[in-house]
Amino acid sequence: MKLSTRIRNTRLRAGLSQAELAERLGVSRTAVCNWESSKGRTQPSGERLAQIATLAGVSWDWLATGRGHATLSPENVPTAYAEFVEDPDERRLLEGFRASHEKVRMAMLAIADIQLPAHSGKR
């Protein structure tokens, strides 16, 4: 299966239109359309693929390469991407941050920075 088809299937599995996926990723709808094109002339970066996989709850390895299973399970999450967030509120904040547009992310980071002790250093 081509990358363009995996991206389209992943988006549909997540119940998102091209416009909705584009908005969540902070890209144009045209970019998403081009990624899903059968001609496959443009492809998203590895970082964008990771964002798509996270939004849709699929395996990054499968989305990027077609290998393995699309279904994300604790057994096939690379250790580097594993998260240990047990607090439901913290999980909601993390998911909201990941789904946000860049401007919203910057505002969220500004609020977080205000809460940090002065000696911890700013980003």
Contacts of 74 (CB under 8 A, 6+ apart): 82
* Lowest-confidence region among 16-20, 40-44, 97-101, 106-110: 40-44
Q: Is 71 found in the same domain as 93?
A: no
Same domain, 50 and 66: yes
Residues 95 and 64 both lie in one domain = no
Averaged confidence pLDDT in the chain: 82
Give the 3-state secondary structure percentages of the chain, helix then strand then coil, rounded to 5.
65, 0, 35
Report whether pLDDT(123) > 70. Answer: no
